[in-house]
Amino acid sequence: MVFSVLLYTSLAIFIIGIVYKVSTWFSRKVGISSRNTKTSGRVFAGLKGIAGVIFGPKILDLLKAFLLDVILQRRILKEDFLRWLMHMLIYGGFMLLLLMHALDRFITAKLFSEYYSTLNPFMFLRDLFGLMVVVGVVIAIYRRAILRVPRMRTNAMDRYAIIIMAVVMLSGIFLEGIKITSHSEFQRMVENFSDTDDEEELKALESYWVQNFAVVSPDVKGPFSEEVLENGFELHDMSCAACHSRPQWAFTGYAVAKAVSPVAVALDRMGSVSFLWYVHILACFFGLAYLPFSKMFHVIATPVSLLAKAVMEPGTSDPLNVATRQAMELDACMHCGTCSLRCSASTAFEALGNEFILPGEKMVFLKRLVAGKTLSPEELKAIQEGIYVCTNCDRCTVVCPAGINLRDLWINVREDLIQRAVPVPCVLSPYSFVRGLNREKLQPYDYPRPVEGAKEAASKDFQNLMDRSRPLHFKGNGSSTLEKLPDAETFAYCFGCQNCTTVCPVVGCYENPEEKLGLLPHQIMCCLGLGLVDMATGPRMLWDCVTCYQCQEHCPQKVKVADLLYRLKNLAVKNLRSS
Amino acid sequence: MKYALFLGCNIPARVSQYETSSRAVLKRLDIEPVDIREFNCCGYPLKNLDRKAFVLSAASNMALAEKAGLDLLVLCKCGYGTFKEAEYLLKEHGELKREINRSLHDSGLNYEGRVQVKHLLSVLYHDVGIAALKSKISRSFKNLKIATHYGCHALRPSAVTRFDDPVAPTVFDELVRVTGAKSVDWATKLECCGAPLMGINDELSVTLTTRKLEDGRRSGADFLCTACPYCQIQFDTVQKMMILHKGNGGPLGAVLYSQLLGLSMGMDAEALGISMNRIDISNVTSFLSEET
């Protein structure tokens, strides 16, 4: 009764959870490209797309992906053998346990008329599958806690997944082990299945089970005489043997049984068997009910993602389906850290200390953002930088074991985040190169705004400083403001020949360069000579510098003009980052 | 000869024909490129943001090559320049080097400064040599006029990059002549392609590119020749996307040096990814002769 109530409650929560989660794939809007999509349109487009695949030639691609990517998990194997082994052990063991053990009444018993959970091969296989999961979980803990795969972060969800699996497995193994030793279980079985009431005979049977089936009895203890055991065997053969293989075959439970045998009688009296049974089924039911809301939901979302990847083509798929796929992909990410491990920008994370630079952490954040989280100003700044400090090398997309198209996800979400009215200093760097290449795709949005906003923010005080009615406060070489530019003192050799400005191709592009660029290269060097560092960090010349180093190459005084412009850019960015 | 091949970020994602053709050419010259999976961004885009971040990125790659006991072969000029600058800074500033090595230590790396950083063109010119290259040419180009684009970040600052003479460089021209093509003189040969400003000031970026293309056409060149993914994207993708439709004359296609060399070595255009260039340059094969 309790069992059924718990089972159907958790199953109901599970099903409602799955329906809810899948519905969010069609309703949630990721980034900028899904802003104007409607749920109904996306559901319709999705159904149309699925029908098109099932009744079209792409069904072959789908089946191939199902076999190679979903069942055999080729993408994980390509990345790391140990991880593939871990995942195959957990997922293979768990699926087999689910089908053979948890659903035995519906599946195993229907397929095999001779099925008994305590008979071989079923008993042995159950322990084998259980051991597979345990070994997989041990590898998972090893990877996260001991091996310390670089940049792999372990969050609460990862811990939950490992813990729920460990509790289910260990409670199952201990339940089995203690049940083997349990004298009360033995008595219960005797009452139900033996054909005799004869005390002597029952004692012989008990002796036989203590001797051969690891039961720990408070009444009988070995060594037993040959005769008693022979009598016991006769009764065993008649009443028990048809349903019981030797417990050694349940090798994990048997090991537990042997280990606890000195205290088995006490454990049995304390009601350990029913306690562990509750722990085991409650853990299973909790895991089931919570699955749609936990990391374990990837067991559903990740195969869907892999299949979507197999049949969706970049550029030709319906934009509505792309929007749905991106919402789904957030659930398909199981925070495995492969993308963060292979990320080209990972050293930027190490130097700048912003966790959101790691793609795996961006995904965790995006899940919360898309679910409706509001951002604090600090979080917005951090995620804007994190999403922009990306070299667009596409490695994350290539290696993602879940087949998530991270490239398109970044482009889409990046645009949304940098269009918010907060200046993002890192747009003023070659990280903008790929955004520039994609500008035609971004034209409906305000393409120039993020860059213009950052340039304006960087030169906020510049116009004031340049006000000709204001006296200049010279600070001179060696002043404290210059300490912001350590080992950059080559400007001191400038004698104002203006060669740098003359050879600058950027200056040469304008009729009236000072108006466009604020200060020209030689003027910036002059500023530095006068200690006017704040003024030197303001002109647009810094951001319009094409970094061709003509100025530096042609300086007769070996002033490192281009390097100094870089140092000033760094300083301006630092000021913006900390403001 | 063995080198650690540094592809960088742009080539695998956007100019994969550069990788394909370079590997094909290197194989023909018995050079073994070793792939190091842990390579990350060279640090080039970080130069605008933070010096330590850029030096750390560069140093991490150089330390990986050092660990493998190999010199770095870089295909990208911006990557090459960034490595050379990081190398220079780490040599000049002991405190910076200690700080960087402290950060590298966590990943089990250490940068000593033993590794040499070389661009593909330097390897071909200095390590393989013009004579050895010539011996591999099986069908040279006839009447093909090429405008070499040197690329700023390899050439300058010359005291740091040490690629070639910054005012009158010859390495690239000689490499082009090996293939039988003529290297034309053009006024803006040593100027910037405009790529560093793409995305930051597109208008200025495209102006610089357009000037070079016009100058290249005026010089009578049939193609520009590049050896850097940024320059190649700028002359190929950006030219096609933002310049051609504005009526700036016909296209001046850009061929990667590895493609040009491969063709003259008798390789198939398809194997060199000629068709992957955005602007159709397939007529480059019509300049091939049967002579060596």
Residue A97 has pLDDT above 90, yes or no: yes
CB contact under 8 A, B156 and A552: yes
A574 neighbourhood in chain B, CB within 8 Å: 50
Instruction: Give the dihedral of Cα atoms A215, A216, A222, A227; nearest 10 deg.
Output: -30
Residue A306 CB-density burial (10 A; 0-12 exposed, 13-18 middle, 19+ buried): buried
**pLDDT at residue number B249:** 79
Q: Is the predicted ipTM greater than 0.85, yes or no?
A: yes
3-class DSSP assignment, residue A550: helix
3-state secondary structure of B222: coil
State the average pLDDT over residues A205-223.
92
Q: Which residue has the higher pLDDT, A475 or B244?
A: B244
Compute the average pLDDT of residues A84-99: 96
Give the mean pLDDT of A410-439.
93
B35 contacts on A by Cβ (under 8 Å): none
pLDDT at A473: 77
Give residue A172's identity as a one-letter amino acid code: G
Helix B77-92, helix B94-105: angle, nearest 10: 110
Which residue of chain A comes nearest to B156, CA vs CA?
Answer: A549
* Full strand arrangement of the beta sheet holding B223-226: B182-183, B145-148, B223-226, B254-256
Instruction: Check: CB of residue B90 under 8 Å from CB of residue B121.
Output: no
Neighboring chain A residues of B93 at a CB cutoff of 8 Å: 487
Q: Half-sphere exposure of residue A524, counting CA atoms within 13 Å on the CB side?
A: 31
Averaged pLDDT, A215-221: 91
Residue A570 binned pLDDT confidence (cut-offs 50, 70, 90): very high
Take residue A404 and report the two structure tokens written for it: 């998530």
Tokens standing for A207?
A: 């002796």
Q: Which amino acid is at B291?
A: E
The mean per-residue pLDDT over the stretch A64-70 comes to 97
Question: What are B186's two structure tokens?
Answer: 């053009």
| CB-based contact B41 A487, cutoff 8 Å | no
- Written as six digits, the tokens of B164 are 């070639």
* Separation CA B46–CA B259 (nearest Å): 30
Task: Give the tokens for residue A468.
Answer: 């000709």
A342 contact residues in B (CB cutoff 8 A):
37
Residue A199, CA distances (Å) to A184, A208, A222, A223, B122 in order: 17, 14, 18, 19, 97
Task: Locate A319 and state its tokens.
Answer: 């934009």
Q: Is the four-CA dihedral A94, A100, A101, A105 of positive or negative sign?
A: positive
pLDDT value at residue B250:
85
CB contact under 8 A, B195 and A451: no
Phi-psi region of B18 (alpha: psi -120 to 50; beta: other; left: phi over 0): alpha
Residues of chain A with C-beta less than 8 angstroms from the C-beta of B44: 430
**Which chain A residues have a beta carbon less than 8 Å from that of B111?**
none
Integer Cα distance of A317 and B14 in angstroms = 21
**CB-closest option in A347, A428, A429 to B40:** A347
Tokens of residue A321, six digits: 């389906």
| Helices and strands in chain B, H and E counts | 13, 8
Q: Does domain B130-287 match CATH 3.40.50.11810?
A: yes
Q: What is the pLDDT of residue A20?
A: 97
Alpha-carbon distance values, A281 to A3, A8, A137, A285, A286 (Å)? 8, 12, 19, 6, 8
Under 8 Å between Cβ of A68 and A362: no
Report whether pLDDT(B292) > 80: no
How far is A548 from chain B, CA to nearest CA, in Å?
A: 5
Q: Do A566 and B43 touch (CB under 8 A)?
A: no
CA distance A270 to A267: 5
Of B43, B156, B199, the CB nearest to A433: B199
Q: For the segment A445-468, what is each residue's pLDDT rounded down to a tens digit?
A: 789 999 999 999 999 889 888 888
- Amino acid identity at A80: D
What gap in Å lies between CA A314 and CA A334, rounded to an integer? 23
Q: Which helix (H) or strand (E) holds B226?
A: strand B223-226
- The pLDDT tens digits for B34-80 are 999 999 999 999 999 999 999 999 999 999 999 999 999 999 999 99
Q: What is the pLDDT of residue A476?
A: 59
Is there a contact between B46 and A428 if contact means CB atoms under 8 Å apart? no
HEC assignment per residue over A291-342: HHHCHHHHHHHHHHHHHHHHHCCCCCCCHHHHHHHHHHHHHHCCCCCHHHHH
Query: Which residues 6+ apart lie within 8 Å of A191 measured at CB?
Result: none
Distance from CA of B260 to the nearest CA of A (A): 25
Angle, CA of A470, A476 and A479, to the nearest 5°: 110
The answer to whether the CB atoms of B198 and A552 lie below 8 A apart is no
- Please tell me the distance in Å from B283's CA to the nearest CA on chain A: 26
Overall average pLDDT of the A481-496 stretch: 78
Q: Could you tell me which residues are beta bridge partners of residue B117?
A: B72
User: What are the residues whose beta carbons fall under 8 Å from the beta carbon of A285, sequence distance 6 or more?
Assistant: A6, A7, A9, A10
Contact A382, A354 (CB under 8 A): yes
CB-based contact B177:B127 (threshold 8 Å):
no
Give the residue from chain A lying closest to B165, CA to CA.
A553
Of A391, A549, A569, the CB nearest to B41: A391
Q: Which chain A residue is nearest to residue B11, measuring alpha carbons? A: A393
> What's the pLDDT tens digit per position in A538-557?
999 999 999 999 999 999 99
CB–CB contact B192 A546 (8 Å) = yes
Residue A495 has what pLDDT? 93
* pLDDT of A485 over the 80 cut: no
Look up tokens 């255009």; give the residue. B269
Tokens matching residue A243: 């349903």
Q: How far apart are CA B202 and CA B191, in angstroms?
A: 17
Chain-wide mean pLDDT for chain B? 96
- By percentage, how much of chain A surpasses pLDDT 70? 97
Token pair, residue B171, equals 């390495």
Q: Please state, in angstroms and rounded to a whole number, the distance separating the CA atoms of residues B212 and A509.
A: 13
Q: Judge contact between A214 and A246, C-beta under 8 A.
A: no
Q: Answer yes or no: are the C-beta atoms of A187 and A218 closer than 8 Å.
A: no
Burial class (CB in 10 A: 0-12, 13-18, 19+), A18: middle
Domains within chain A, CATH numbers bracketed? 2-180+278-297 (no CATH), 184-251 (no CATH), 337-457 (no CATH), 462-578 (1.10.1060.10)
Considering CB atoms only, which of A425, A433, A574 is closest to B195?
A433
Residue A41 has pLDDT above 90, yes or no: yes
pLDDT above 70 coverage of chain B, percent: 100
For residue A549, give the nearest of B14, B157, B205 by CB distance.
Answer: B157
pLDDT score recorded for residue A505: 97
Q: State how far the Cα of B120 lies from the Cα of B159, in Å rounded to an integer.
A: 19
Nearest C-alpha neighbor of A570 from the set A426, A447, A376: A426
Among the listed residues A317, A310, A305, the one whose alpha carbon sits nearest the alpha carbon of residue A58: A310
Task: List pLDDT tens digits, range A378-408.
Answer: 999 999 999 999 999 999 999 999 999 999 9
Residue A550: exposure state from Cβ atoms within 10 A (0-12, 13-18, ≥19):
buried
CA–CA separation, B271 vs B277, rounded Å?
13
Q: Per-residue pLDDT tens for A524-541?
A: 999 998 888 889 999 999
DSSP H helices, chain B, are 10-14, 16-28, 51-67, 77-92, 94-105, 120-122, 130-136, 152-155, 158-161, 171-178, 202-218, 229-233, 257-264
Query: Which member of A392, A487, A573 has the closest CB to residue B49?
Result: A573
Q: Report pLDDT digits (tens) over B154-205.
A: 999 999 999 999 999 999 999 999 999 999 999 999 999 999 999 999 999 9
**Domain residue limits, chain B:** 2-119, 130-287
Q: Which chain B positions have a beta carbon within 8 Å of A430's beta carbon?
A: 44-45, 47-48, 78, 196, 199-200
Report how far residue B102's alpha carbon sits from residue B106's, in angstroms, rounded to the nearest whole number.
7
- Kindly tell me the sign of the dihedral angle through the C-alpha atoms of A282, A283, A288, A290: positive
Nearest CA in chain A to B166: A553
Quote the pLDDT of residue A482: 65
Cβ distance of A543 and B57 shorter than 8 Å: no
Phi, psi torsion values for B275, nearest 5 degrees: -75, -10
DSSP string across A497-529: --HHHHH-TTGGG-SSHHHHHSS-HHHHHHHHH
Q: Considering only CB atoms, which chain B residues are within 8 Å of A439?
A: 199, 202
| CATH classification code of B2-119 | 1.20.1050.140
Task: Give me the DSSP letters along A358-407.
Answer: SHHHHHHHHHHHHTTPPPPHHHHHHHHHHHHS-----HHHHH-TT---HH
List the one residue out of B264, B204, B262 whose CA is nearest residue B234: B204
Min Cα separation B290/chain A (Å): 39
Six token digits for residue A425: 């200093």
User: Peptide bond preceding A150: is omega within 30 degrees of 0, i.e. cis?
Assistant: no
Nearest CA in chain A to B56: A347
User: Model confidence over A339-369: pLDDT tens digits?
Assistant: 999 999 999 999 999 999 999 999 999 999 9
Residue from the list A435, A506, A550 with its beta carbon closest to the beta carbon of B204: A506
Q: Which residues of B touch A570 (CB under 8 A)?
A: 48-51
Closest CA in chain A for residue B150 = A548
How far CA B210 is from CA of A121, A407, B146, in Å, comes to 76, 30, 17
Q: Which residues of A486-509 are buried (b: 16+ CB within 10 A; e: fewer)?
A: eebebbeebeeebbbbebbbbbeb
Q: Given a cut of 60, is residue A511 above it in pLDDT?
A: yes
Tokens 């520009």 found at: B224
Token digits for A122?
Answer: 């079923």
Task: Report the pLDDT averaged over residues B239-265.
Answer: 92
Per-residue model confidence (pLDDT) at position A108: 93
What pLDDT was estimated at residue A2? Answer: 85
Judged by CB atoms closer than 8 Å, whether chains meet at B53 and A351 is answered as yes
Of the partner residues B14, B158, B241, the one whose CB lies closest to the CB of residue A440: B241
Task: Say how many CB pairs under 8 Å bridge A and B.
Answer: 166
Please determine, for residue A409, whether its predicted confidence score (pLDDT) is greater than 90.
Answer: yes
Please tell me which of the candidates A342, A505, A569 has its beta carbon nearest to residue B191. Answer: A505
- At residue A231, the 3 state secondary structure works out as helix
> Any idea what DSSP says for residue B138?
S
Q: What is the pLDDT of residue A479?
A: 57
Which residue from A434, A451, A574 is facing B200, i.e. has the nearest CB? A451
pLDDT confidence tier of residue A313, bands split at 50, 70 and 90: confident
Contact A430 B48 (CB under 8 A): yes
B200 with A550: Cβ contact below 8 A:
no
Local confidence band at A487 (pLDDT 50, 70, 90 cut-offs): low
Residue appearing with tokens 């003189």: B185
- Chain B's closest residue to A560, CA to CA, is B157
pLDDT(B134) > 70: yes
The pLDDT of residue B129: 97
Contacting residues of A for B7, CB less than 8 Å apart:
none
User: Which of A548, A551, A565 has the most B C-beta neighbours within 10 Å, making it the best mutation to test the interface with B?
Assistant: A548
Q: Return the pLDDT at A480.
A: 58
Please state the three-class secondary structure of A403-414 as a single string. Answer: CCCHHHHHHHHH
Mean pLDDT score, A206-226:
91
Task: Report the mean per-residue pLDDT for chain A.
Answer: 93
Q: Which of A175-184, A199-208, B254-263 has the lowest mean pLDDT?
A: A199-208
